Amino acid sequence: MTEDAAKVAPHAYKVIFENESARMLEVRMAPGESTAMHSHPRYLVYVLGDARVRFRTPSGETGELDLPAGAAMWREAEEHATENIGGTEVRALFFEPK
């Protein structure tokens, strides 16, 4: 796995809570902003504002995802680079159980 998101992209991922049981990240990405390749453990996402992102995997595959405000989704451990391709700031909370 590549580096942790908060280490690779501190401009986008901020650790706001961490203990031996869990970690919570605040995610903020301006329109057009992107991150380098990074990894996430399995995690829960809660979207705070409407957004649209493009993901790129280590193999070069890409996918786009609309993120509506109030959406919650479970994601398995993954590696990707992210780009905000919408006209608004990406705002979300990531909850990572340990």
Q: What is the pLDDT of residues 28-42, one digit of tens each?
A: 999 999 999 999 999
State the Cα–Cα distance between residues 19 and 65, nearest whole angstrom: 30
pTM summary value: 0.93
Confidence at residue 64, expressed as pLDDT on a 0 to 100 scale: 98
Domain ranges in the chain?
A: 5-97
Token duo for residue 21 = 């049981």
pLDDT tens digits, the chain, 98 residues: what are they?
689 999 999 999 999 999 999 999 999 999 999 999 999 999 999 999 999 999 999 999 999 999 999 999 999 999 999 999 999 999 999 999 99
In this structure, are residues 71 and 27 in contact, taking their beta carbons and an 8 Å threshold? no
Distance of CA 52 to the CA centre of its chain: 12
Nearest 5°: CA angle at 12, between 62 and 52?
45
CB atoms within 10 A of CB 70: 10
Does domain 5-97 sit in CATH 2.60.120.10?
Answer: yes
